[in-house]
Structure 1
Amino acid sequence: MFLPVSLRDAPDKSEWSAFDRLPVAVLRLEDDGEIAQSNRLARELLHLETTDGNTLQGVLEGLGRPISDWLADAALGKYLNKSEFLRLKSAEVEVFLQVSLGRISTPGGEHVLVAVLHDATELKSLEAQFVQSQKMQAIGQLAGGVAHDFNNLLTAISGHCDLLLLRHDQEDNDYSDLVQISQNANRAAALVGQLLAFSRKQTLRPEVLDLRDTLADLTHLLNRLVSEKVTLTLSHDPILMPVRADKRQLEQVLMNLVVNARDAMPDGGEIRIETRGQTLEKELRRDRATVPPGDYVSVRVSDQGCGIPKDKLQKVFEPFYTTKRTGEGTGLGLSTAYGIIKQSGGFIFIDSVVGEGAVFTILLPSHRAMQPKTIEPVAETVQKPGIERDEGVVLLVEDEAPVRAFASQALKLRGYTVIEAGTGEEAIELLNDDGLHVDLFVSDVIMPGMDGPTWVRQAREARPDTRVIFVSGYAEDALDDSAEPVKNSVFLPKPFSLNDLLETVQGQMS
């Protein structure tokens, strides 16, 4: 560490005033960490008017190693001129300092500790952004993979349950048990959907929405979610541009935020939901995110609850992190909201002061479409499927045997002729028989060896008019975007019910 000659010679305290003009922040420390002297830049970095009575460990905190241990080693001449990154305790926002400790000798043979400080906030912010991105990506990949496997299991469970329901009337003793299995399979599917939402690999059904209408439709349900002690207030911008999003998923985000706001106010209070248009003339940098310029619609959900400490604000969107007591929260609500909003092209931010409540702000890009395209979500209610007879030949390609067995049996009950294959290669081999007539391909997307789109494109060379249904436990973007889209194809996400499968097949056959 470079220091001026006068400092290396350890001048007395009266001469330290000259260092106020140095372009570097300098502290003189006692062995126990007490700040004996400081210059102007050091006080500015520490956000202090005076350092009298303060210690280094009192104003800064270590990110790993205790500061007291570091000071003790430095006093013994160990690990000198090695930098440590420390966090400022008193700042309202995160401030990081890079601190180097040196030891100088006085004419009397004593040793003095000197600390040189540099502002490392931007560096640590970039580092944290990178680490957070890597962590979220890794967890997202794990969640997506787990969700894919669970979707295959749930498709088989709910599908075979639907087949059993066909053989039982409501008066049967087993009927209520089958309904319970079906309902719990749907609940499990919703939980898997949360994992996919966080990993941003769920299948969205976007449509053009006016958020005022969406909230109006949702108000009755939201009022049921809050207690009698809580007042729910809605406020809308009179001129609000539409957005393009999945209505059901956006409603889930709003319900999660309202439930969190309710839980933060056990003694009651007000939850406000406000919508307004917002135009950004230049990019907005906030919370390690960059919002590009443009027109947005913002939704603010605010409460008067207990608030969230500032050191926990950056963690609330992480999966399985919760500020609630054990058993009161899964830690998936806000991470699900984060995933849905990000996958919709938007941003979500949080502001909070302990004791004053929290405010969640959602920014969604505005959409200037004239004709909204609406895709009805798949019904989640349990109903006894009705089977009508139909005709046609279906080539079913699915590597998961339980899923293939359910789909095959369901299609045969409908009257279709079903040819089964466990791989894409097996499907191509079957289609080499020119005498084999096939009306429809139903194929999983991700399979060992040749994937769904690959074998379908190859088969289409000889059978260009055959229609296709792709099924997958991943989102629709699991299809290869780099290749030309498969024409006359539709996508059916897992888990799907018997009715979902039959309706989709009938739609492609017609």
Structure 2
Amino acid sequence: MEAVPPGPGAQIAGLIFAVLLLDPDLVVREANPAAEDLLHRSASRLVGASLLAAVELDDARVAERLTEVDARLTVRGMMLRCGERAIQVNMTLSPLSSHPGWRVMTISEVGQGEMADDPREETALRAPAILAHEIKNPLAAIRGAGQLVARKLHEKDRPLATMISDEVDRIARLVDRMQRLGREVADPVAPVNLHVAVRSAIATVRAAGDGGVELVEEFDPSLPPVLASRDALEQVLINLISNGRDACAGGKSPRVVIRTRFASGLVSNLTFGRAVRLPIEITVSDNGPGIDPALRDHVFEPFVTSKASGQGLGLALVRKLVRDMSGRIGHQRDEHTGLTHFRIHLPLAKDERERT
């Protein structure tokens, strides 16, 4: 028997981005499941409500355009608020010629679908690893020569030889990070207790000195295990928490909040051509001044940094490790609250059978 293709309703219900049907008065008349997840409202609460009562738009120009019933609109990277939650989204608005005044709106969180492979990016990530390989052998020779020279120097000159060895060690550590960035084989994943990994990362950061920054845990204790590499996840969290601590240190009431929650499966990415639901969210937020606006769209690229002494590999490595776990990470600056958020989304361990 020939399979019956799904109808338009089933197709819209299966989309991973939000779809809203708006009447001429901007009242929501229909909402697909992805809209419920993204806006954190059930269809029963969305349908019949004004769009501008359900969400708040940070761009006044977009809000003004919504009042034009025949306007077509495409917006990228706009901040949208749903209650206390702020997200960066891409939005489209399409008028229905068959029904004057009626429009279809689509909303997708910025970064959704970023798991698609980009050969150019893979090449860019491998380049530091290739360079690191070529650097490592000369470094070992320089260090050995420095140690030999130190034995023959007078006591007063030995600090110079020690400085050479220390600098070689520092460069070697940087080279190791470059090699890890370009490594093609990912760490194996397994069920991981999320909060054990988070607390271990927080303990590591505290042991290195918190710099007077308050580290706050806001956990949902009911969350099930995630599918991840324990070591990779801890490394990701150590990097993000340390960055947040450094970003707000010296400010008024410096604070980094590590929050976990269930995100209702609102985020799906494509890995090897299949959708992977990522319902577990970890957010690391700090109340520092934020990243330079000129760098915000490039923070996960290699060698991009706003730190005077940074190498720009930390966040590039973070994104690689998260992607290796089939997860997703995004960055957002919320000027309204003065907070910088890094959000990680990971799959549930029980979903592994569905992906094989």
Tell me the TM-score range normalised by the shorter chain.
0.5 to 0.7
Using the alignment, how far apart are the partners of 2:281 and 2:214 within structure 1? 21
| Deviations, residues 323-342 of structure 1 (Å, cap 9, x unaligned) | x37x3544332212112222
1:393 alignment counterpart: none
CA shift digits 1:4-42 (9 cap, x unpaired):
xxxxxxxxxxxxxxxx9xxxxxxxxxxxxxxxxxxxxxx
**Which whole-Å CA distance do the structure 2 matches of 1:279 and 1:89 have between them?**
21
Deviation string 1:220-240 (CA, Å, 9 cap, x unpaired) is: 442344332x21112344355
Tell whether the 8 Å contact from 2:91 to 2:107 is kept in structure 1 after alignment.
yes
1:51-70 equivalent positions in 2, closer than 5 A: none
- Decide which of 179, 197, 203 is 1:196's aligned counterpart: 179
Change (3 A) 1:281 1:232: closer
| Equivalent-residue separation in structure 1 for 2:67 and 2:322 (angstroms) | 43
What TM-score, normalized by structure 2, do the two folds share?
A: 0.54
Q: Secondary structure at the match of 1:292?
A: strand
Task: Select the residue among 185, 189, 199 that pairs with 2:168.
Answer: 185
Look up the match of 1:293: 277
Cα distance in 1 between the residues matched to 2:292 and 2:167: 36
Give the counterpart letter for 1:339 in structure 2.
K
Distance 1:153 1:254 in 2: 33
2:136 paired residue among 133, 151, 164: 151
What are the equivalent positions in structure 2 for 1:471-490 lying under 5 Å apart? none
Corresponding residue for residue 360 of structure 1: 342
CA distance in 1, matches of 2:142, 2:348: 40
Q: Which residue of 2 aligns with 1:47?
A: 65
Shift of 1:350: 2.5
Q: CA deviation at 1:245?
A: 1.9
Query: Where does 1:204-219 land on structure 2 (aligned, <5 Å)?
Result: 210-219=193-202
How is 1:273-284 mapped onto 2 (pairs within 5 angstroms)? 273-276=258-261, 278=262, 284=268
Aligned partner of 1:293: which letter?
R
Q: 1:155 to 1:242 in 2, by over 3 A?
A: farther
Is 1:270 aligned with 2:265?
Answer: no
Structure 1 residue 150: Cα displacement: 1.9
2:304 counterpart SS class: coil
CA displacement at 1:182 relative to structure 2: 4.2
Aligned residue for 2:312, secondary structure, equals coil
Alignment CA distance shift 1:349-1:203 (3 Å): closer
CA 1:274 to 1:209, structure 2 compared with 1: closer, same or farther past 3 Å? Answer: same
Counterpart of 2:241 (choices 246, 258, 263) is: 258
Structure 2 gap segments, 5+ residues each: 1-23, 25-60, 81-88, 94-104, 351-356
Partner of 2:122: 137
Q: Are residues 96 and 181 of structure 1, via their aligned partners in 2, closer, same or farther at CA, if it must alter by over 3 Å? A: farther
Q: Tell me by how many angstroms 1:87 deviates.
A: 6.3
Is the partner of 1:47 in helix, strand or coil? Answer: helix
Quick one: distance in 2 between partners of 1:362 and 1:226? 22
**What is the root-mean-square deviation of aligned Cα atoms in Å?**
5.2
Contact 2:258 2:282 in 1 (8 A): yes
**Equivalent residue runs for 1:375-390 within 5 Å:** none
Cα deviation, residue 353, structure 1: 1.4
Which residue does 1:245 correspond to in 2? 229
The answer as to whether partners of 1:150 and 1:192 remain within 8 angstroms in 2 is: yes
- CA offsets per residue over residues 187-230 of structure 1, 9 Å max, x none? 222212332343344885878754434444443442344332x2
Counterpart of 2:303 (choices 320, 328, 338) is 320
Alpha-carbon displacement from aligned partner over 1:301-321 (angstroms, at most 9, x marks no partner): 112233468886542212233
Aligned pairs for 1:3-22 within 5 A: none
Q: Verify: 1:341 aligned to 2:325, yes or no.
A: no
Answer yes or no: is the 8 Å Cα contact 1:282–1:292 preserved in 2.
Answer: no
Q: Which has the larger radius of gyration?
A: 1
- What is the rounded CA distance, in whole Å, between the counterparts of 1:89 and 1:210 in structure 2? 33
| Contact map agreement 1:168 1:174 (CA 8 A) in 2 | no
DSSP 3-state at the match of 2:138: helix
Cα deviation for residue 283 of structure 1 reads 6.0
Contact 1:46/1:88 (8 A) holds in 2: no
Letter in 2 for 1:138: T
CA contact (8 A) 1:274 1:299 kept: yes
Higher relative contact order (CA 8 A, sep 6+): 2
Say if 1:310 and 1:352, in contact at 8 Å, map to a contact too. no
Note if contact 1:284-1:290 (Cα within 8 Å) is conserved in structure 2: no
Match for 1:332 among 309, 313, 316?
313
**In structure 2, what is the Cα distance between the partners aligned to 1:126 and 1:293?**
11
Q: Which amino acid in structure 1 is aligned with residue 67 of structure 2?
A: E
Displacement of 1:365: 4.0
Q: 1:256 to 1:282 in 2, by over 3 A?
A: closer
Query: Relative to structure 1, is the Cα distance of residues 241 and 355 closer, same or farther in structure 2, using a 3 angstrom cutoff?
Result: same
Equivalent residue pairs, number: 266
Q: Is the 8 A contact 2:92 2:107 kept in 1?
A: yes
Post-superposition shift, 1:291?
6.0
Identical amino acids, percent of aligned pairs: 24
Q: Show the counterpart of 1:226.
A: 210
Say whether the 8 Å CA contact 1:193–1:202 is kept in structure 2. no
Paired residue secondary structure (1:142)? helix
Structure 1: state its 5+ residue gaps: 1-19, 21-42, 52-59, 61-85, 98-118, 369-510
SS in 2 for 1:334: helix
